[in-house]
A and B are shown apart, each in its own frame.
Chain A
Amino acid sequence: MNYVIAVIIGIIVAFVIAAIQKSSLTSVTMQHAAADYVKKGSVKFRIQTERFLYRKVEKTEKQQK
């Protein structure tokens, strides 16, 4: 079973490497945002709060050998 998983992972990694190299052929894309056009020094926060709400603890029993 480990060897089957190894073969699958090997093939996936091969496709990923080829896809990265192929992506260099594409250079035309819509811009996601307008980060280049933010006026320097204009970012000002007037509220930055982090308020604790509640806590949850989950526990799972270990498999006893």
Chain B
Amino acid sequence: MGELIDYKCPCCGGKVEFDSTAQQMKCPYCDSEFSIEAMKEMEEAQQNQQSNMSWDTGAGSEWSQGETDGMKVFLCKSCGGEIIADDTTGASSCPYCGNPVVMTGSFDGDLRPDMVIPFKLDKKKAKEKYLQHLQGKKFLPKEFSDQNHIDEIKGVYVPFWLFDADADGDIRYRAVKERRWEDSRFRYTEKNYYSVRRAGSLAFEHVPVDGSSKMPDDLMESVEPFDYSEAVSFEKAYLSGYLADRYDVTAEQSIDRANKRIEESVIDTFRESVTGFDSVTTETKLINLNNGKAKYVLYPVWILNTTWNGEKYLFAMNGQTGKFVGNLPCDKAAYTKAVALYSVICVIIALVIAYFMS
């Protein structure tokens, strides 16, 4: 016996049948009509397919003999952070929480980084950028910028996992074009519904995910982007004068974050290509990643700590580009006064407009 196939109406969900008069598919419940091709396309879109996102995470390499001689590990007993420094660089306080650190022993070799971006900007530049960061902030407490002290500025090489991938996406949308008009008796709204499809590919390179659980992920993502074209093969000499954060988040643990960012970029890129409609909603999406590769690299970041009113504030500057980030406190009294003043001005303007309009 043959198999019965049901097609659902995209408008009302009812069962669509072939109308011999119209020679098209027609819904008996809402009278919507569709071509055979349109129904086939919608049927294909309903089939459930699994997005495939998988990675090759064999990043990093083995240290050569003697390469880790002179590298020390420092442990912070307060937050558990571990940092690496060479013989010539003493680490006295933790870059994450500012508490004293103790040397626990020699570095016995995790993965050797594949690449490193050396520091391009010095400590003096970090201080200058910090002062610039405080300028023009309307609700920043005056005492914060007057007191103006930074407890510590440290240059830290932060471990990152970098992901390369070719993404292939196939996204279907329901889009609507509206037209309005009126006559003496009625107002009309005409809505034309379209099935829109975008399928294609785009390549991603060096998508970074922070490999240290102690370094706040939002702080590290805020100092992006880093210019990978300036990365060089790792040599221990680059660590001299700086600290290196020890990775404690594996590539496998970082995959989800990389997947999420790449998926969002594919969705955004495809969505930008759908133009000329009044509303667009996504119906189905299928994203596959091919040739996923991960690299283990060190990126330069200046970390600045300050304490104010019993609270610690952490700032970061991209050691390559100079991008400076860090949340600042808000003067609640100044904010409240400003809201009150703006309210008075805006209400007066609104009342004047309302008076003239009436």
Q: Which residues of A contact B (CB under 8 A)?
A: 2-3, 5-7, 9-11, 13-15, 17-18, 21-22, 24-39, 42-62
Contact = CB atoms under 8 A, between A and B. Distances in A.
19 contacts: A3-B354, A6-B351, A10-B348, A10-B349, A11-B347, A14-B342, A18-B342, A21-B338, A22-B330, A27-B327, A28-B326, A37-B206, A37-B208, A39-B204, A44-B200, A44-B202, A54-B34, A55-B191, A59-B188
B5 interface: no
A60 B187 CA distance: 5
Interface stretch (B48-56, B61-69, B88-96, B213-221): B213-221
A59 B342 contact: no
A32 B304 CA distance: 25
Contacts of B198: 45, 47-48
Contacts of B111: none
Contacts of B225: 36-37
Contacts of B41: 51
Contacts of A26: 327-328
Contact of A53 (B34, B202, B339): B34
Given A30-B218, A39-B202, A42-B201, A50 B343 contact: no
A25 B330 contact: yes
A17 B103 CA distance: 50
Interface stretch (B112-120, B132-140, B245-253): B132-140
Contacts of B273: 45, 48
A6 B191 contact: no
Contacts of B348: 10
Contacts of B200: 43-47
A14 to B, nearest CB: 4
A49 B185 CA distance: 38
A40 B264 CA distance: 17
B174 to A, nearest CB: 8
Nearest to A64: B185
A57 B186 CA distance: 12
B32 interface: yes
Interface string B333-358: 00100110011011111110110011
A53 B194 contact: yes
Interface string B100-114: 000000000000000
A61 B191 CA distance: 18
A53 B326 CA distance: 50
Given A34-B262, A34-B265, A50-B175, A58 B188 contact: yes
Given A31-B221, A33-B268, A62-B187, A47 B197 contact: yes
A43 B269 contact: yes
